Chain A
Amino acid sequence: MQYSEKVMEHFANPHNVGVIEDANGVGEIGNAKCGDIMKMYLKIEDDIIVDVKFKTYGCASAIATSSIATDLIKGQPISEALKLTNKAVVEALDGLPAVKIHCSVLAEQAIKAALADYYTRQGIDPEPIVGKIEDHDHHDACHI
């Protein structure tokens, strides 16, 4: 198993690490048993993601996917963030080892969870917009 240079770069110096105190959308996905948890903080103004920060517990690829995913949605309208797929995350990192693909899914889901929280806070049912969030928290196995 080998990581691309891009993964190592984002792992060594991850972008957008931290907390947004006045975030209006927060999502957490994953669980400790499976070895990875991602928490995303979004600051959304006029349907634009003006700021995004994350905290991640997990392996190098979990940290790197969080970092690149936040880069990809920062400054983007919500509609663009909703289109972000785990494939796009993997491509932006110049690939991930097969056993680490689930980390990219986690990043996609963490963003969706944060967006769902944003809509919930507005009193809007998020499911028709964001879709179902596959949180493996609620599964017995650690596979997504």
Chain B
Amino acid sequence: MRYVYADNAATTPVSKKVVEAMLPYMTEHYGNPSSLYGIGQTAARAVDKARQQVAAALGADAKEIFFTSGGSEADNWAIKGAAALGAKKGKKHLITSKFEHHAVLHTMAALEKDGFKVTYLDVYENGIVRVEDVEKAITDETCLVSIMYANNEIGTVQPIAEIGKLCHDKGVLFHTDAVQAVGHLKIDVKEQNIDMLSLSGHKFHAVKGTGALYCRKGLRLPNLIEGGAQEAGRRAGTENVPGIVGLGVAITEMNEHLEENYNKVKSLRDRLFEGASKISHSRINGDKEKRLPGNFSMCFEGVEGESLLLMLDMKGVSASSGSACTSGSLDPSHVLLSIGLKHEVAHGSLRLSLNENNTEEDVDYILEVLPPIIERLRDMSPLWEHILENEKNN
């Protein structure tokens, strides 16, 4: 049986190049970057190089890159840090969107408990924040706007440069959770007026547990971890040298092939959309064009997402769903509800996320196994019966 990995938004395989680059920093150059002798300094130079590589990929300066354990840590640091800076000036209002990753939403909720006010912006049916809504929401009290670069479930890409410019003009800090975008979209933090940006290595072929926060020069966030001089004293702890080296290699590799990958992956994804849209009672979630090249998100009425993805798994396809059953709660994902989907439609969601390792054969295989699975589930679904009956009666 064919195996198709179509959950690259969850995580990606580590590339061979990354593994090869990392290995010597585990066995040979294992020194602590804070040590002054040879192998320590070799490790320190490798960390410096990776910092430059990450900076170059984002249009930033090396001094503006702080390595973290991943995207969630970077999000927490940026938001809590900006809130603390704001509170010092009596500014205790933050703006975000309704469909951010929980690393952002839960951090915001924690701040609300501490007396901050948070505005959650609508993302409308197309899954895109409106710049004018951001503008309307900004007050004299606002200390931070945090809007994700691209959504993790429906892939919609936000007007980051426009929001960045607005925030810049208004003198409000702007953070973006770019975990899904880095390595897949062209990013320039200076041009786009981004003050802080979170990224995660394992979303683009580096290892899990690696990530970074870009923090604009001159913006002095409170230290995240005390206890050492690492990361300019702001995030203490011996560096994850192999992981950081891998992160640098991975981001460079992705950026070198950005356009080529974009075109390839988008065309695969569009082929998938075209094929799957032939299934009746289906809909594409979020804007069809303004989305990550590899993101496919659709709802199929009358079927439930968890059953759908487990049946796909039995056919060798790894996918994901925003249904209640897969979220471990009784509500479907907040992302699907935020774009106005009814619960019963959102339960039937399927996310496939492709990347440059996928092939046309992968897509054709998915399109071969998906329709019969949906048909089978609909055949045993009383909800599907109701949908057809309702149509007959109307």
Task: Answer whether residue A118 sits at the interface, using C-beta atoms and an 8 A cutoff.
Answer: no
> Nearest Cβ in chain A — how far from B380, in angstroms?
5
- Size of the A side of the interface (Cβ < 8 Å), in residues, is 32
- Contact, CB under 8 Å: A57 / B384: yes
When A1-B328, A58-B325, A99-B328 are in contact, do A32 and B306 touch as well, CB less than 8 Å?
no
- Give Cα distance in the complex from A41 to B330, angstroms: 26
Contact of B307 among A55, A59, A100 (CB under 8 A): A59
Contact of A35 among B328, B332, B377 (CB under 8 A): B332
SS of B interface (majority): helix
When A17-B380, A32-B344 are in contact, do A12 and B314 touch as well, CB less than 8 Å?
yes
What residues of A have a CB within 8 angstroms of the CB of B381 in the complex? Answer: 37, 55-57
User: Which chain A residue has the least Cβ–Cβ distance from B384?
Assistant: A57
Task: Answer whether residue A138 sits at the interface, using C-beta atoms and an 8 A cutoff.
Answer: no
Task: Answer whether residue B112 sits at the interface, using C-beta atoms and an 8 A cutoff.
Answer: no
What residues of B have a CB within 8 angstroms of the CB of A28 in the complex? Answer: 382
What residues of A have a CB within 8 angstroms of the CB of B342 in the complex? Answer: 33
Task: Answer whether residue A38 sits at the interface, using C-beta atoms and an 8 A cutoff.
Answer: yes
Counting chain B CB atoms within 10 Å of each CB, the highest count among A11, A14, A59 belongs to: A59
Contact of A63 among B324, B331, B347, B380 (CB under 8 A): B380
Task: Answer whether residue B343 sits at the interface, using C-beta atoms and an 8 A cutoff.
Answer: yes
What residues of B have a CB within 8 angstroms of the CB of A18 in the complex? Answer: 380
Q: Interface readout for A27-39 with B: 1 if CB under 8 Å, 0 if not?
A: 0100011111111
> Which parts of B350-394 form the interface with A (CB within 8 Å)?
377, 380-386
Q: Interface readout for B35-62 with A: 1 if CB under 8 Å, 0 if not?
A: 0000000000000000000000000000
- Give Cα distance in the complex from A77 to B344, angstroms: 36
Closest 4 CB pairs of A and B: A59-B325, A32-B344, A59-B306, A57-B383
Can you list 5 A-B pairs, Cβ within 8 angstroms, ordered by A? A18-B380, A33-B344, A35-B343, A57-B304, A59-B305
